[in-house]
Amino acid sequence: MKSLEQNALEYHSHGQPGKIAIQVTKAVGSQADLSLAYSPGVAVPCIEIHKNPAKAYEYTAKGNLVGVITNGTAVLGLGDIGALAGKPVMEGKSVLFKKFAGIDAFDIEIDETDPEKLVDIIAALHPTFGGINLEDIKAPECFFIEHHLRDRLSIPVFHDDQHGTAIVVGAGLLNAVQLTGRDITKLKVVCSGAGAAAMACLDLLLDLGVQRENIFVCDSRGVLTTNRELTKEKRAWAQNTDAKTMSDVMHMADMFLGVSGPGLLKQDDVKKMAAKPIVFALANPEPELRPELVREVAPDAIVATGRSDYPNQINNALCFPYLFRAALDSAATNINQPMKLACVEALAAMARSDEHFGRDYIVPTLLDKRLLTGVTPKIATAAHESGVARKHLNEEEYRAQLEALAKTLL
């Protein structure tokens, strides 16, 4: 029997190497076709776009094209392996855009670690794309890069490692809170990890009702406290406490949020938590504590991981294709917090409406055929209502368009 490693290498090398290719969308079978596709006919849309840049969305692929961009400094669980070694992941992301939302994507791997130079490079590329998905860029540089690109560009810029994780965590938490009968405003949260994903998750938890004073964040040196030297991002989560280790703050915690590393949560920590604990152990590929070990000491726990071989997978692909689909179709200038929250609510509601809803089904599965038509229109409506959409889409009419699109997808 072949190993996963052997199968993966064969998958990526068989036939045409890689996972993506370019498809021509117009007829090029005659001299007349060629004269329209290129010289002299191509000059006509060029002139129209020069007069009115918005015409690029009508005459080019810009309105359905996303740049998946990385410098390879924080690739999956592999770390700083460089831009070239990160290319298979970026190609994979492009596959998911196409499969789940019909969005074309170019993967761009940039050999640059200076954040200011990286911002300049990406900003200079923006005429090509309708949106930019930043991927696998390490913290704290990723905060700087996303912030400055959002300020400079009038197209959506979205760092999926931060916000994609946060959205699916938020949806899962809403349902876990409902299933365990908790009041989210009284939830005590212990977070292991203080990187990009953690910070985005925590910011979103505040928007959902969790109180900042009830959140205890730990990095590799222990609890973030006011008597420690911390970066700006970490200072926002420092607590005035004498606690030093994660175990020190686990007493009666309602939720553990792990976005850190393997094995960092112990069974003794879970024993200290409140009844019916909520444990999101999202380190990948090996979680902070495996679900079966959580359940050994807390049989009534609700457990989520980042893995596909356990229930409740917190997978960014549950949201990023639909966020970009809605943003592109509504010509949104950015993906803002109301759009993210609309995605959270839509994902949570979709799981609740499923007959499998329960402690092992708090978020939809990745292959749920309802996602494109159930989530995307809610995001587009939020874009319009929050003022970032340049094109208003009637929700019901848009849902019908998406149903037609869904029939054409892989």
Residues marked active site are found at 38, 93
Distance (Å, whole) CA 232 – CA 212: 16
- Residue 251 CA neighbour count, 13 Å, CB half: 4
Is 394 annotated to bind a ligand? Reply is no
HSE-up (13 A, CA, CB side) for residue 301: 31
Q: Is 284 annotated as a binding residue?
A: yes
Q: In the numeric block, which tokens belong to residue 206? A: 């505040």
What count of other Cβ atoms lies within 10 Å of the Cβ of residue 293? 17
Q: Tell whether 329 is in a known binding site.
A: no
- Whether 257 and 169 have beta carbons less than 8 Å apart is answered as yes
Neighbours of 23 (CB within 10 A): 7
- 334 marked as binding residue: no
Kindly state the greatest CA–CA separation across the chain. Answer: 78
Distance CA 370, CA 375 (A): 8
Q: Write the CA distances from 264 to 2, 40, 98, 120, 293, integer angstroms.
A: 31, 63, 36, 38, 13
Residue 135 assigned ligand-binding role: yes
Which residues participate in the annotated binding site? 135-136, 161, 284, 315
Task: Could you list the residues known to form a binding site for (S)-malate, using ranges.
Answer: 284, 315
Residue numbers belonging to the annotated binding site for a divalent metal cation: 135-136, 161
